[in-house]
Amino acid sequence: MQNRILSPSFWFLGFSLLFLTVFSLPGLAETADRYHQKQNVIVKLANFDPLTWEDPVPGGHNWQSACMAFMMADHMLGEAIGNSHYKNEVILFLNLQAVELADTDTAIDLSGFICGQHSLQESWDMLLHKGVDIVVCPGCAVIGGITPETLREGARIAGGAQEVTEIFLRADKVIDF
């Protein structure tokens, strides 16, 4: 029988694998548990330039951020639990230029911009129907001349800096477009 001495690199590799296995399993279990728990998600949309929205087909890729934000908000709701109730709470937060999406005075017809199978207007309506809270930054609303009377159906202006702070502090995830 031949004696074999295992090299130091073999011992290092074996110890490393054992270490990774022992110390990463609790983290993986925690991640899996977190995935199955209810989460508060904010999808924040800031990008939007109404001046380039004239022709949605030839060169206008400006609405893609809005499409992605709307689709992500829909997906982040998770599985349905009853009628218009979903696993996660989702807020679509509009700030900077994106507040224009919530302003009826800008007269932007969202039905002309197609995102996959739906127009932006259909996506907006579906998000509302599914219970997504569409919140407009109060400071951005003032700068944009948006008032509660000029808001698109389903949107609301946050009650002030304190409410905006609370919305973001309660969030488990913030996704930015």
27 assigned to some structural domain: no
Rounded to 5°, angle at Cα 154 from 117 and 85: 70
In a domain, 79, yes or no: yes
- pLDDT band of 53, cuts 50, 70, 90: low
Q: Residue 80 domain-assigned? A: yes
- The enclosing H or E element of 115 equals strand 114-115
Residue 15 lies in a domain: no
pLDDT level of residue 3 (50, 70, 90 thresholds): low
Kindly write down the DSSP assignment for every residue of 86-109, as one continuous string: BSSEEEEEE-GGGGGGGBGGG---
Q: Is residue 75 part of a domain?
A: yes
In a domain, 30, yes or no: no
If one counts the domains in the chain, the total is 1
Distance CA 40, CA 69 (A): 16
Q: Which residue has tokens 């599914």? A: 130
Give the integer Cα–Cα distance in Å for 97 and 115: 19
Which pLDDT score is estimated for 110? Answer: 82
The average confidence (pLDDT) of the chain is 82
pLDDT value for 112? 77
Torsion, Cα of 118, 119, 123, 124 (10° steps): -170
Minimal CA–CA distance to 50: which of 89, 11, 101? Answer: 101
**Per-residue pLDDT tens for 130-165?**
999 999 999 999 999 999 999 999 999 999 999 999
Residue 12 lies in a domain: no
Q: Supply the pLDDT for residue 25.
A: 62
Confidence at residue 137, expressed as pLDDT on a 0 to 100 scale: 97
- What are the tens digits of pLDDT across the range 16-27? 666 666 666 665
- Please report the pLDDT score of residue 85 as a whole number: 80
CATH number of the structural domain spanning residue 170: 3.40.1260.10
- Report the pLDDT value the prediction gives residue 17, as an integer from 0 to 100: 64
Integer CA distances (angstroms), 143 to 15, 20, 108, 139, 155, in order: 60, 52, 18, 6, 17
Q: In the chain, what is the straight-line distance between the N-terminal and C-terminal CA atoms, in Å?
A: 66
Other beta carbons within 10 angstroms of residue 133's beta carbon come to 18
What pLDDT shows up at residue 30?
A: 54
Q: Is residue 17 part of a domain?
A: no
Q: Give residue 125's domain range.
A: 38-176
